[in-house]
Amino acid sequence: MFLLSDDLFADHQAGDQAQALAAKQGALDLLVTIGQLPAGRIRDQLVGAFGFDFFDHLTVADVAVSLEAKDILLLSLPERLAFLKGVSRVLRRLIRDGRTPCWCHRPSTLKLSLAALATLVVSGKAGRKLAFKAVNRVEWFCFRDLALGQGLAYEDWIRLLAEQRLGDTEPDSADFAELERHAGARILEFIGETGQAF
């Protein structure tokens, strides 16, 4: 299996770092909340509060928070699913407003979303297919290599990513959990997390 390359808490040991960690947690929690809320006025207000800077950092209580892929580990697996639903809702609104995300400068929010998806895919938990569905509802223009937003079924998508990762080696299609691990590793490689086992 594969993991994010950095230790989550290595950067957050001193007092100032604890504040930074709390700010990151608050930013993530806001997107989790958006993902959990039913459609309605309150959710629309929260989604509408995000601007184009959403792609590079989140602002919570007037503090800009820079997120890294490893920060997704602050959330439990169910929270990661809600996070992806929240991000999907914000991205769809921004795209409707003509603000299309681009992967060229590696925006942290998109990187974090793909890290969340990768960790859910390899988890073997029921939520992984719902996470894929949430992410797949967004037109990911720069993620053509990952075949997101292109109408593939979950199982076909997993096989495609496993084949990309393995190259010339034929994947063992009888072990779907192994294919999911390869797919998760392929996503992490795509976002630059060359990483260790997780």
| Domain ranges (residues) in the chain | 15-190
Share of residues in the chain with pLDDT > 70 (%): 77
N-to-C CA span, the chain: 6
Provide the strand spans (E) within the chain.
58-60, 63-65
Q: Which of the two residues, 141 and 69, has the higher pLDDT score?
A: 69
Q: Which of the two residues, 52 and 130, has the higher pLDDT score?
A: 130
Q: Return d(Cα 15, Cα 32) in angstroms, integer.
A: 26
CA distances from 158 to 18, 168, 174 (A): 37, 16, 13
pLDDT value for 2:
42
Alpha carbon 121 to its chain's center? 11
Tokens 């040991």 map to which residue? 13
Q: Return d(Cα 32, Cα 44) in angstroms, integer.
A: 14
Of 133, 25, 149, 33, which Cα lies nearest the Cα of 83? 33
Summarize pLDDT for 73-92 with one digit per residue, the tens: 889 999 999 999 998 898 88
Average pLDDT, the chain: 80
Please state the three-class secondary structure of 96-142 as a single string. HCCCCCCCCCCCHHHHHHHHHHHHHHHHCCCHHHHHHHHHHCCCCHH
Cβ contact 143:122 at 8 Å = no
59 secondary structure, DSSP code: E
Q: What is the pTM of this model?
A: 0.81
Summarize pLDDT for 6-34 with one digit per residue, the tens: 444 454 455 567 777 888 888 889 899 99
